[in-house]
Structure 1
Amino acid sequence: MTALSRRALLRGILGTPVVAALTAGCTVGAAPPLALAAGEPGGFYVEFGELLASALSAAGLPVTVVGTGGSVDNIQQLRAGRAAIGLALTDIAQAARNGEEPFGAPVPLQAIGRVYENYMQLVVRAEDPAVSTAGLAGRPISLGALGSGAAVFGDRLLAAAGISADVTRRPLRDAVAALESGSADALLWSGGVPTPALAELAARRPVRLLPLDEHLPQLRSRHGGVYGPVTVPADAYGHAGPVPTVGVANLLVCTPQLAPATAAAVARTLVTAAPALVPESALGTQYLDQRSLIGTGEVPLHPGAVAAYRELHG
């Protein structure tokens, strides 16, 4: 989407009487800290969440970062009212809005912005004979923690590859330990590059990633255009070449109950504090592109976020 068409879209949305009424004269007043549903220790959800919480607190909006299992868990937290904002993969957010598994009923999510690209990372020990997903058929693998987007994607990946495996659902730290000890032959993780826990593993013993791009046609045919081609840069986890894999955008989401002024304050911070929201360990290829913040796909922007982007960019 071009900058011009993005501006036209925002002008069109902001032109509605409802949104104009919501956004007129909004200011953020004193309130208890917002709960931000983030993710697992050792992953980028927590790192990004903590950076965002720090920036929001500095802007006068206190935020508490809540550790969770990942995208599915975060959306459940939002639905139950235990969190005000949360991070979620686009494919999981769309499944929630459509009432698809594992949600059972529609969740009326809205987005504050598209914040970064997640990379699907299927990790094996460097000496493992597998050169593709097919080489893991029948073997013990960890496909993400319960409540994570990786767990949902893992099932979709095996279906697209046409294989079955001895699947466990482990949190990232446990999956890393299982791979290192040999009790698991692979782990699937969805996150930024390099993910800290995986970088720590690679520093202790050689690992590599399996390419996943061959499964994109099947994944897109079955689940739509939320998945796209991305490449893990060379040397992300040691001395290896670039690895083509599957990417999916990550969204900062909320429900319609979030106050427009609060959503606007969060959106404004995503723009004005963008350089401070990139974890130090990131390679810089997947983070917070201000031009794509409103590119949230089928998940509509919260009216308060629309107001902020319109104010900042016209």
Structure 2
Amino acid sequence: MTGRAPRLSRRALLGAAALSAVPLAAGCTAGATDPIVLAAGEPGGFYVEFAELLAAAVARGGMPATVAGTGGSVDNIALVRDGRAALGLALTDMAVAARRGEPPFDAAVPLLAIGRVYENYMQLVVRAEDPAAGTADLAGRPVSLGAVGSGAAVFGDRLLAVAGIGARVAHRPLRDAAHALEDGGTDALLWSGGVPTPALAELAARRPVRLLPLVEHLPALRAAHGGVYGPVTVPAGAYGVAAPVPTVGVANLLVCRPDLAAPTADAVARTLVAAAPDLVPRSAVGTQYLDQRSLIGTGDVPLHPGAAAAYRELHG
């Protein structure tokens, strides 16, 4: 997505996990009572699941943390920017846009990253019986392109632009969009998240759905917006779909402001390494979460110095 990250051996990973248990507590502020806030996302998506697991992991290490529900990446960046959250989950394309002051941001936000935490799959969902074979077949039809404040909403606008089509666009939260698709209130919904996303799996259990391939739009997306997008494949069996579906992926980053205390950044980075097996939501398929080979591969969003120092110590 943002370039191939340095590979870490399994031996190095296990060694890092052993080394990190003690420094986590040491990296926290003694006597601190106010929990750090982690801006997450919508109910029914992996942002919240991952954030809750991470908050529990850093709390076990001595640093209280709480999770804030939001609309998604754009909201999370705003909360971090304004100092209302110490950490936030954000799609790489939205983090890069924020740093550059590009839409949907009206001024540059000097974000840094704690790590690249997992892969997001752009999932354009239709009812199984819908005749649409691709994005072009949605022209003029009602579609939900992600909640207001989400990275999916911005990506949806970018997708329609490069596809050269117009649609009757609504911006619904994920669960509302899923019910609208089920009830015929919309013909498609766009979601950016892990596979399978719980709310979509629940929808698929109630009525058959399928995904439209999006990879044909990748060259145009990269030409317009850079290398933040890449090819990924939703595996066969996800949501009951028999065949794999090629789509577009974008990495998810854990971001912060430059003034985040170095001990806090250090502690969270060590937790991402030490607690990696415990940070994978139970319903996740494959290895899209916390791939230790790509944790430091944050692309155009630099690592926070505290996190970078922790990774250097743990991995050399």
Q: TM-score, normalised by structure 2?
A: 0.91
Q: How many residues align?
A: 294
**Unaligned ranges ≥5, structure 1:** 5-24
User: What's the offset of the Cα at 1:239?
Assistant: 3.8
Indicate yes or no: 2:16 matched with 1:30.
no
Matched with 1:252 is 254
- In 1, are the aligned partners of 2:121 and 2:234 still within 8 Å (CA)? yes
Question: How do residues 213-292 of structure 1 correspond to structure 2 at under 5 angstroms?
Answer: 213-292=215-294
User: What's the offset of the Cα at 1:2?
Assistant: 3.5
Q: In structure 1, what is the Cα distance between the partners aligned to 2:100 and 2:79?
A: 17
User: What's the offset of the Cα at 1:311?
Assistant: 1.3
Residue 151 of structure 1 is aligned with which of 141, 150, 153? 153
- Which string of whole-angstrom CA distances, capped at 9 and with x for unpartnered residues, describes residues 138-180 of structure 1? 0000000000000000000001111000000000011001100
Matched with 2:144 is 142
- Which string of whole-angstrom CA distances, capped at 9 and with x for unpartnered residues, describes residues 197-254 of structure 1? 0000000000000000000000000000000000000011014210000000000000
User: What's the offset of the Cα at 1:291?
Assistant: 1.6
**Unaligned ranges ≥5, structure 2:** 9-25
Q: Alignment partner of 2:239: what SS?
A: coil
Residue 295 of structure 1 is aligned with which of 294, 297, 307? 297
Which residue identity does 1:280 align to in structure 2?
A: R
Which residue identity does 1:28 align to in structure 2?
A: T
Matched with 2:13 is none
Which residue identity does 1:40 align to in structure 2?
A: E
Q: In structure 1, what is the Cα distance between the partners aligned to 2:144 and 2:58?
A: 35
Q: In structure 1, what is the Cα distance between the partners aligned to 2:42 and 2:99?
A: 23
Q: Alignment partner of 1:97: what SS?
A: helix
Residue 189 of structure 2 is aligned with which of 187, 190, 193? 187
Q: In structure 2, what is the Cα distance between the partners aligned to 1:26 and 1:150?
A: 35
Which residue identity does 2:187 align to in structure 1?
A: D
Question: How do residues 71-110 of structure 1 correspond to structure 2 at under 5 angstroms?
Answer: 71-110=73-112
Q: TM-score, normalised by structure 1?
A: 0.92
User: What's the offset of the Cα at 1:80?
Assistant: 1.0
Q: In structure 2, what is the Cα distance between the partners aligned to 1:27 and 1:167?
A: 45
Residue 130 of structure 1 is aligned with which of 105, 129, 132? 132
Which residue identity does 2:94 align to in structure 1?
A: I
